[in-house]
Amino acid sequence: MAPSSLLIVLPLLTVLDLSTSHPTVNERRQAQLQPILGTAQQTPELSTFYSFFASTGGQSGVPGPALGERFDDPSNQYTLLAPANNAFASISPAFLEALTSVPAYELLLTLLLNYVLPQRLNLDEMTPKTGLEAVGGFMFDIESDGSIQTNEGVTQSAVPIRKQANIVFDQNGRPLTVPASNGIIYIIDKMLDPLITYFGEDAPGQALPPISRQPGTMADILRQHPRLTSLSPLLEQIDPDFVNRLSLYSTDRGVNERTVYLAPSDAAFRVLPSSIAESATSPSNHGANTLLLEFGLGEYVEGSPFVRSGLGFNITIDMGRANNARVQERVCADNGCVWLVGRWLDPLFGAFS
Ligand SMILES: *[C@@H]1O[C@H](CO)[C@@H](O)[C@H](O)[C@H]1NC(C)=O
C-alpha cells in the first residue's frame, strides 16, 4: 500500500465537506445520502475498514444483520470513527485474515461495534474527553486535538496506556468527515484496541516460570487451583462444553504434550471493573466472552516465540509474557498444561501499533 494514499484522497473528502455548506447542493446531497455503512462502502479511502464489516456477512458480500440492519436503520443516528486505508499498512496480512475468519467472528463484531457511537456528534460534542460510550459498550475519550483514547482509567495497567489514534484534520483544521443519511463518519488514522485498555497490560519480566506437574487433566487444574477461583465457576456457567474439552485426551501423545490453556487467574479478574461479574454472564456478552476465554487454548512447543491459539492467532511469548499478560505459573497435567496469566488475553495485542 502506498504510504501516500491517504494524502491522495484528502482533496476529494474536502470537496464533499465544502459542498455541504452550499444550500442547494446540500439539499441535493441530502437526498442522495446513504446510511452510514453504505457511505463507508462508497468512500474509497475506507475500503479496507468497510471490508471488515462486509466480512461479517460471509459470502454475501454485505455486512451481516447484526451490523447491516442495525446501522442502516434510518430512525437512529450514528457517528462512525473509521480508520483510513493507511491505518492498515503496517498490520500483518495473516493477522487481518485471522481477524476476519469465521472462528473470530465474535471478536470482530465486538471490535466493529466499538467504532460506532449511538448519536450523530459534531466535533465539539465529542471533545474534550467526555466519556462517550460506543454501541459495543466500551468508552472513548476524544481530546480537542483529535487524539482518541479508549477506556481511560478503567483498569490498572502496569504499562501506561497511550492514545491509540487521531481524528484526521484537513489543512484548514477541520475534521475530515463524510456525511451519511443517518449519521456522520470521521476519518481516523489508526485502528483502536479497546481490549488492551479494558484488560490492561502486565509489565514484561524475564523467562517463563518453571513447569510443575500433576496427574489428571487441565479441567482438574481449572477446578482445583486456588488462583483460578474466578475463572472456573464463570466457565462452568457460560461455557461448560469448553470445560469438558479441557478434560479430554488426544489419542496423539504429541498433541497432549503441546496443548496449553492460558487461563486468566484471579489477579486478571481483580483489575477488571467490578461490573464484569454481571456483564460477563449477560447474554449480550456471551459470544465475545466465550471467545476471549477460549482464545488461550492452543499449542506450544517449548522455546517457541508463539502459542498458536486454536482460533488461528499467534499469542506472542516474550519476556515472561503471553501477549499482554504475565505468565504467573505453569502446571502440566496428562492432557496438556495450564498457564496462569495475570490478565485476560488481548488477541489484538500489538497488532495495531
Ligand atoms: C503466526 O506465525 C507464523 C510464523 O511466524 C506465521 O507464518 C503466521 O502467518 C502467523 N499467523 C498469524 C495469524 O499471524
Q: How far is Cα 170 from Cα 17, in angstroms, rounded to an integer? A: 10
Mean pLDDT across 3-30: 42
Q: What does the pLDDT read at residue 19?
A: 41
* Residue to mutate (ligand 1; options 314, 315, 349; most atoms within 8 A of CB): 314
Q: What's residue 126's pLDDT?
A: 86
To the nearest 10°, report the CA torsion of 316, 93, 159, 307. -10
Ligand 1 nearest atom to the CA of residue 312, by list position:
13
Q: Which residue has the cell 523467562?
A: 207
What are the grid coordinates assigned to 187, written together? 476519518
Fold of 5-199: FAS1 domain (2.30.180)
Q: What are the tens digits of pLDDT across the range 314-334?
A: 999 999 999 999 999 999 999
**From-to residues of CATH 2.30.180.10 in the chain:** 5-199, 211-341
- Residues 315, 251, 294, 52: what is their CA dihedral angle, to the nearest 10 degrees? 70
Fold of 211-341: FAS1 domain (2.30.180)
Looking at residue 131, its amino acid is G
Atom in ligand 1 nearest the alpha carbon of residue 97: 13
Q: How far apart are CA 323 and CA 314, in angstroms?
A: 9
Q: Output the CA 226–ligand 1 centroid distance in Å.
A: 34
Predicted pLDDT of residue 3: 37
Is the pLDDT score of 16 beyond 90?
no
| Distance from Cα 90 to the centre of ligand 1, integer Å | 15
Q: Which residue puts its alpha carbon closest to atom 3 of ligand 1?
A: 314
How far does the centroid of ligand 1 lie from the alpha carbon of residue 323, in Å?
A: 14
CA distance 286 to 282: 6
Full strand arrangement of the beta sheet holding 139-142: 132-133, 139-142, 147-150, 165-166
Tell me the pLDDT band of 188, cut-offs 50, 70 and 90.
very high
pLDDT at 155: 84
Dist. CA 18–CA 227, nearest whole Å: 59
Q: Cα–Cα–Cα angle for 252, 253, 259, nearest 5°?
A: 95
Which atom of ligand 1 lies closest to the CA of 314? 1
pLDDT in tens, 235-259: 999 999 999 999 999 999 999 999 9
Place of cell 504434550: 257
Give the residues surrounding ligand 1 with Cβ less than 6 Å away.
92, 94-95, 98, 306, 312-314
Torsion angle of C-alpha atoms 71, 72, 74, 75, degrees rounded to 10: -40
User: Separation of 191 CA from ligand 1 center, angstroms?
Assistant: 20
pLDDT tens digit sequence for 55-104: 999 888 899 988 999 998 899 999 999 999 999 999 999 999 999 999 99
Distance from Cα 97 to the centre of ligand 1, integer Å:
11
Q: Which amino acid is at 61?
A: G
Strands 132-133 and 139-142: antiparallel
Over residues 278-301, the mean pLDDT reads: 86
What string of DSSP letters covers 293-328?
Answer: HHTTEEE--TT-SEEEETTSPEEEEETTEETTEEEE
Burial 160-181 (b: 16+ CB within 10 A, else e): ebebbbbbbebeeeebbbbbbb
| Reported confidence tier of residue 276, pLDDT bands at 50, 70, 90 | low
Distance, CA of 193 to chain centre: 5
